[in-house]
Amino acid sequence: MDMKRRKLLLEEYKNRRPEMGVISLRCKATGQAFLGISTDTKAGFNSICVKLSSNSHPNKKLQELWNQYDLEGFECSVLKVLKYEDPAQDHTAELEELREICLAEDPHAEKIWK
């Protein structure tokens, strides 16, 4: 790869605006939902699924359901998207606030991470 192309790709990556928000994994069989926050929802789902597939997720209840039902037994979705201006700024507090709203709306939901 030539240097111009490399610099262009690097600049595009630095300036990207990934979707931030509250992600949900809902077990279709039980209705239980596990909510997390992510500064990049696609990467967030990927990370969680890799941990679950390798049987190494710290949430034991979620891991047990995953082992029983696998990916096909779950509905994965983005519940709320955070609108933001500066991707370099820390949006953790805003994301946690959005998650709390989602948790209050769903009595069958809990946090993915304790």
Q: Residue 77 has what pLDDT? A: 97
pLDDT tens-digit series, residues 89-108: 999 999 999 999 999 999 99
pLDDT tens-digit series, residues 26-45: 999 999 999 999 999 999 99
Mean pLDDT, range 49-60, rounded to an integer: 97
Does the domain at residues 19-111 carry the CATH identifier 3.40.1440.10?
yes
pLDDT tens-digit series, residues 63-86: 999 999 999 999 999 999 999 998
Q: Terminal CA-to-CA distance of the chain, rounded, Å?
A: 44
Domain boundaries, the chain: 19-111
One-letter identity of residue 92: T
DSSP string, 41-87: HHHHHHHHHHHHHTT--S-HHHHHHHHHHTGGGEEEEEEEEE--S-T
Q: Residue 113 has what pLDDT? A: 84
Across the chain, mean pLDDT equals 94
pTM: 0.87
